[in-house]
Each structure stands twice: as C-alpha cells, then as structure tokens.
Amino acid sequence: MSAHVCVALGAERYGIAVEHVREVAQLDTVVPVPGAARWIAGVRHLRGEILPVVRLHDLLGAPAGDPRRVVVVRDRDRSAALAVDRADAVEDLPEPDGAGERLTRGAVLHRDAVLGILDVPAILDAVGAR
C-alpha cells in the first residue's frame, strides 16, 4: 500500500503517487502557448515557477470533462500541472496488478471503483516537461 492523490476526469478515476505530488491548486489563469501540442492548455505561473498545464483528458484519451484543479507533479527536475476535474482525497492504495497502458502503471479496485494509477515519469516524458 502507498499513498495516492485520487483525482477524477469525468467518471474516470485515477491515483497519483504522493511522492510525485507537490501540491493541488485551483486551475486559475492559463496562458495559451501557440503551436503547443493539443494536450497542453498553456502555462501557469505558480509560486515563482512557470509550469506547463496538461489537459489530462486529452493526453489519456478520456471523455471531455470540466477541469477546475491542477495537481502539480514532479519527477527529478521536471514538473507540470495536470488539469483534473476533481482532486478527491489522499488514499492508501495497493500496488497495481499487471502492466498498465502507456501512461499508467496499472489499475486497482478501491471502494468499488477502478482507479488507473498514473505513471508520472511517463506522463512528463510524453509532454516533454523540463
């Protein structure tokens, strides 16, 4: 078991290991970046740092939602703000069984719901976050 921030993208739920989570914040103002990939909403200034804001719905191919929060994630020297509909709670989740898809480490059953466990390093690789 390890602690994860549980987030929602519409009806889909995901867990993000707390070791990669720096903070959860309001989405607030995002400045568009011309020519950015479709899953990059733009950039956001947060606590002295300019962060790419990733439309997690688009990156994961999830149904469109209504992002209102960002989960700021970090892996070594790379950071990004992942736009999510909701950040519900921090929960202890079991390790996923089996391999996941390209941006997840697998899935777990928790409180009668299936949660995909996000692979933060793979997500940061996909968005080219530095």
**Residue range 46-94, pLDDT digits in tens:** 999 999 999 999 999 988 889 999 999 999 999 999 999 999 999 999 9
**For residue 107, what pLDDT is reported?**
93
Residue 129 scores a pLDDT above 90: no
Name the pTM for this structure: 0.93
**For residue 101, what pLDDT is reported?**
82
Q: Are 25 and 72 in contact (CB under 8 A)?
A: yes
CB atoms within 10 A of CB 103: 19
Cα angle value 76/83/45 (rounded, 5°): 65
Least confident segment among 16-30, 66-80, 92-106, 113-127: 92-106
**Residue range 108-123, pLDDT digits in tens:** 998 888 999 999 999 9
Residue 2 scores a pLDDT above 50: yes
84-107 average pLDDT score? 90
**For residue 130, what pLDDT is reported?**
47
Q: Give me the residue spans of the domains in the chain.
A: 2-127
3-state secondary structure the chain: CEEEEEEEECCEEEEEEHHHEEEEEECCCCECCCCCCCCEEEEEEECCEEEEEEEHHHHHCCCCCCCCEEEEEEECCEEEEEEECEEEEEEEECCCECCCCCCEEEEEEECCEEEEEECHHHHHHHHCCC
Which one has a higher pLDDT value, 128 or 9? 9
Residue 99 scores a pLDDT above 80: no
**CATH superfamily of the domain spanning 2-127:** CheA-289, Domain 4 (2.40.50.180)
